[in-house]
């Protein structure tokens, strides 16, 4: 019998002031502007759920997202494995589509959810996107 994912993955480390999470977070369960913090082996990613369309988030973290960028969060995967759509899961790699790039992170080691505290980042990004399309 295969071990369950819960026993195969280390216990997540929670960040202070964060709501405890389960082993995974489905974006459909998040409120608009809710922030998710995912720590991988090499980076910390902040995702702000936009709520407009499933998978649309603002993300900051890693070498590709030094400032908040509007991206499509595809889901989580093991390399070469199936995608857990719109879900961030411990032990799996997050996959983003940004412009013409597909970005896959290292495996998620800890995960936390934060209440809707990010409207300022959303407004700043939305304003810069409007200016770019004008």
Residue 46 has pLDDT above 60, yes or no: yes
Q: State pLDDT tens for residues 66-117.
A: 999 999 999 999 887 889 999 999 999 999 999 999 999 999 999 999 887 5
For residues 16-28, average pLDDT: 65
C-alpha separations of 61 from 7, 14, 133 in Å = 28, 18, 24
At residue 23, the pLDDT reads 86
Residue 65 has pLDDT above 90, yes or no: yes
Q: Where are the domains of the chain?
A: 12-133
Residue 52 has pLDDT above 50, yes or no: yes
Cα separation, 42 vs 117, in Å, equals 25
At residue 92, the pLDDT reads 95
For the chain, the C-alpha Rg in angstroms (whole number) is 15
Contacts of 90 (CB under 8 A, 6+ apart): 5, 9, 10, 12, 23, 24, 108, 109, 110, 111
At residue 22, the pLDDT reads 60
Residue 118 has pLDDT above 70, yes or no: no
Question: What is the distance between the terminal CA atoms of the chain, rounded to a whole angstrom?
Answer: 58
A 10 A CB-CB count for 91 gives 15
For residues 1-14, average pLDDT: 35
Cα separation, 97 vs 64, in Å, equals 11
Note whether 130 and 38 are within 8 A (CB): no
Cα separation, 38 vs 12, in Å, equals 10
């Amino acid at each position: 019998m295969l071990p369950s994912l819960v026993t195969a993955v280390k216990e997540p480390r929670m960040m202070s002031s964060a709501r405890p999470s389960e082993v995974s977070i489905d974006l459909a369960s998040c409120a608009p502007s809710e922030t998710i913090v995912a720590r991988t082996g090499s980076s910390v990613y902040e995702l702000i759920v936009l709520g407009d369309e499933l998978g649309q988030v603002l993300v900051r973290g890693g070498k590709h997202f030094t400032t908040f960028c509007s991206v499509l969060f595809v889901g989580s995967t093991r390399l070469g494995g199936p995608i857990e759509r719109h879900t961030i899961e411990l032990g799996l790699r997050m996959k983003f589509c940004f412009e013409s790039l597909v970005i896959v992170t290292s495996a998620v080691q800890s995960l936390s959810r934060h209440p809707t505290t990010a409207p300022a980042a959303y407004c700043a990004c939305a304003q810069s996107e409007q200016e770019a399309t004008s």
